[in-house]
């Protein structure tokens, strides 16, 4: 009997040992969080508020019955004037001179200011029709508190001479530098034959920023602009290039308040004081003829004939 007890005890021990062998647990697996069943809802992009059109420029005057011209100015006249032949005796062949010419004024209309003044607004373009560049440089003169302008007049061999050409002034409204007294705007009455008679309205001589703005169709025009900044260091107009002041530029006016109805001419003259050295000073003016009836202005194709005069 003791042997049986011992036998069963051994069997129980073996069974117990087998059970204890697997008692050491493996390290627990890292718990994996349950996948999110629904992604966070992303709100659809909102339609941006429409960008408002830029506000229309505030006019210094109210328009009268004259039609408002397009904000895009009329294209420059297609007939670029050909410089008048200049006697060779008056031009040194060793010089490459500019030749300044004013194209006939365009984009003309009457504007009525709140104070009651009637003015003609217009666009003005100046062409350098010569073989040489118009190049001017500024130099401060403390003795006179001005910035003197010197023109570089080039020779065919690449050298240049210096020519005094007025002064620069800072134009507060335009926020850049101008050559003083560079243009003159006049309204003329006409004779019965359509010839210029008397000046009936005039604007003080206008200062100008000189730069290459529009390339003309002239075959000798420089391919790329050279002068693009209006500072007091250097300005100019390259051969074949045009500098334009559009009708909405401050100062592009002639006051015609009280001028009777009739047929007139608007004449714009570049360099009226002959400050610049150029090929020909006799072709600096551009003229446009027009009929005036109250606040209506009609540009004419050329000089009229049979003009009614007082």
pLDDT tens per residue across span 277-303: 999 999 999 999 999 999 999 999 999
pLDDT greater than 60 at residue 12: no
Give the strand pairing for 95-96 and 106-112. Answer: unpaired
Task: Look at the chain and report how many structural domains it folds into.
Answer: 1
Residue 188 belongs to a domain: yes
What is the distance, to the nearest Å, from the Cα of residue 218 to the centroid of all Cα atoms in its chain? 22
pLDDT tens, residue by residue, 18-43: 433 333 333 333 333 333 333 333 33
Backbone angles phi, psi at 61, to 5 degrees: -150, 160
Residue 282 belongs to a domain: yes
First vs last C-alpha separation in the chain: 163
User: Comparing C-alpha atoms, which of 226, 221, 227 is closest to residue 241?
Assistant: 221
CA distances from 165 to 68, 135, 269, 280 (A): 38, 10, 17, 16
Residue 71 belongs to a domain: no
Residue 155 belongs to a domain: yes
The residue written with tokens 């001005």 in the block is: 146
Residue 57 belongs to a domain: no
pLDDT greater than 50 at residue 5: no
Question: Lowest-confidence range among 67-76, 139-148, 216-225?
Answer: 67-76
Question: Lowest-confidence range among 61-65, 153-157, 266-270, 305-309?
Answer: 61-65
Residue 113 contacts residue 64 (beta carbons within 8 Å): no
The predicted structure's pLDDT at residue 306: 72
Residue 232: give the domain boundaries: 94-299
Residue 186 belongs to a domain: yes
Give the strand pairing for 196-208 and 176-190. Answer: antiparallel
Rounded CA separation 269/244 (Å): 13
Extract the tokens encoding 71: 């904000």
Q: Is 262 exposed, middle or buried (0-12, 13-18, 19+ CB in 10 A)?
A: middle
Residue 8 belongs to a domain: no
Q: Of residues 293 and 80, which shows the higher confidence score?
A: 293
Residue 243 belongs to a domain: yes
Beta strands in 156-232 (DSSP E): 160-171, 176-190, 196-208, 214-215
């Amino acid at each position: 009997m003791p042997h049986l007890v011992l036998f069963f005890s051994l069997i129980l021990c073996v069974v117990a040992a087998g059970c204890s062998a697997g008692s050491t647990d493996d390290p627990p697996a890292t718990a994996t969080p349950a996948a999110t069943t629904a992604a966070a809802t992303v709100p659809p992009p909102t339609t941006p508020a429409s960008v408002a059109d830029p506000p229309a420029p505030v006019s210094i005057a109210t328009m009268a019955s004259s039609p408002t011209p397009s904000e895009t100015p009329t294209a420059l006249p297609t007939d670029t004037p050909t410089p008048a032949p200049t006697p060779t005796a008056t031009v040194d062949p060793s010089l490459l001179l500019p030749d300044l010419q004013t194209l006939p004024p365009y984009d003309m209309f009457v504007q009525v200011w709140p104070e009651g003044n009637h003015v003609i607004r217009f666009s003005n373009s100046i062409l350098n029709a010569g073989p040489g560049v118009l190049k001017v440089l500024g130099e401060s003169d403390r003795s006179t508190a001005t910035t003197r302008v010197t023109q570089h007049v080039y020779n065919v061999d690449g050298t240049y001479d210096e020519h005094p050409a007025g002064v620069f002034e800072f134009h507060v409204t335009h926020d850049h530098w101008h050559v003083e007294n560079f243009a003159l705007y006049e309204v003329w009455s006409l004779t019965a034959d359509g010839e210029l008679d008397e000046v009936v309205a005039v604007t003080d001589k206008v200062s100008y920023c000189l730069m290459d703005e529009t390339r003309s169709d002239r075959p000798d025009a420089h391919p790329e602009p050279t002068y693009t900044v209006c500072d007091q260091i250097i300005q100019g107009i390259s051969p074949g290039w045009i500098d334009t002041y559009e009708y909405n530029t401050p100062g592009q006016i002639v006051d015609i308040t009280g001028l009777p109805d009739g047929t007139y001419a608007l004449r714009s003259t570049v360099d009226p004081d002959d400050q610049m050295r150029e090929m020909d000073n006799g072709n600096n003016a551009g003229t446009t003829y027009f009929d005036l009836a109250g606040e209506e202005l009609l540009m004419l194709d050329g000089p009229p004939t049979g003009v009614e005069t007082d």
